[in-house]
Amino acid sequence: MSSGQLRKHERFRSRFLRNERDLIVYTPPGYEKHPGRRFAVLYLHDGQNLFDGATSFIPGQDWHVGQTVDECINARVVEPLIVVGIYNTKSRVREYTPTNVPKLGGGRADRYAKFLIEEVKPFVEREYRTLSGRRHTGIGGSSLGGLVSLYLGLKHCSIFGKIGALSPSVWWNQLVIHRFVKSMPVEPRPRIWLDIGTREGPRVVQEVERFRDVLLEKGWRLEQDLHYERVEGGEHSEAAWAQRVRPFLQFLYPAAQGAV
């Protein structure tokens, strides 16, 4: 089985957020061998939890993204793609939330969007052979990373054509993301993977299902441009999200029929 490569870009500085963080970039099998080929891209938040148990929030628990993407590409169920892991910082709550909440803080997601769209994305497109355009560009994450993926992906739908929202914190600021989606035109509609685990709390499951219904009211259609998964026994953890990497990639980045 051929495997992709990981490359780390340390201390990537943002003038919008006035801080720095590491980026970790996965290039797919065959990237070096086919220098004329360009690839779709997926930007994932909480980068330190994606590839390496040594850097993850809970030591030893990571999403196994590299291994899973390798398996999916080799099995020809997912198109070869580049994955960009964007590390979080101690300002994670602030950067991953669209509004400020008393006691919790937050509210810098629009600035984080500028960092992603005007700093990270141009850098990745200069350094790597990416396919441009929304059809080939996705954003994803879990928990608050899922919330910010929904917020940015829907607000900047001309840039992001795919959103992976794993156990998203739709509860933030009394369901502000529900109100946000109801109030705005989202055209063209991104393809969305949305999921929640049943062991994350009954209220949380209900709130995510209500969010799914908001999307359906706005015109998304199940199994066409929206997949909703209620994961029986799923917990709010890196280990649980690792189980969902393969299915969410298969939905968002399916391999072209007959692709070699």
What pLDDT is stored for residue 126 in this prediction? 97
Instruction: Using CB atoms within 10 Å of the CB of residue 3, give its burial: 0 to 12 exposed, 13 to 18 middle, 19+ buried.
Output: middle
Query: pLDDT above 90 covers what percent of the chain?
Result: 87
- Decide if 175 is inside a domain: yes
Checking DSSP bridges between strand 19-27 and strand 137-142, what pairing results, if any?
unpaired
Q: Which residues of the chain have pLDDT under 70?
A: 1, 53-61, 257-260
What pLDDT is stored for residue 259 in this prediction? 52
Identify which of 69, 62, 51 has the alpha carbon closest to the alpha carbon of residue 8. Answer: 51
Task: Give the whole-angstrom CA distance, residue 243 versus residue 46.
Answer: 17
- Decide if 145 is inside a domain: yes
Task: Give the whole-angstrom CA distance, residue 151 versus residue 97.
Answer: 8
For 141-175, write each residue's pLDDT tens digit: 999 999 999 999 999 999 999 999 999 999 999 99
What pLDDT is stored for residue 193 in this prediction? 98
Amino acid code (one letter) for 13: R
Instruction: Report the domain count for the chain.
Output: 1
- Decide if 259 is inside a domain: no
Domain that residue 28 falls in = 5-252
Identify which of 145, 218, 229, 166 has the alpha carbon closest to the alpha carbon of residue 188. Answer: 218
- Strands (E) located in 28-157: 40-44, 81-86, 137-142
What pLDDT is stored for residue 3 in this prediction? 86
DSSP 8-class letter at 117: I
Helix (H, G, I), strand (E, B) or coil at 230: strand
- Decide if 244 is inside a domain: yes
Q: Determine the distance from the C-alpha atom of residue 167 to the mean position of all C-alpha atoms in its chain, rounded to a whole number.
A: 11
- Decide if 198 is inside a domain: yes
- Decide if 260 is inside a domain: no
- CATH code for the domain of 46: 3.40.50.1820
What pLDDT is stored for residue 22 in this prediction? 96
- Decide if 258 is inside a domain: no
What pLDDT is stored for residue 257 in this prediction? 67
- Decide if 188 is inside a domain: yes
What pLDDT is stored for residue 50 in this prediction? 93
What pLDDT is stored for residue 52 in this prediction? 76
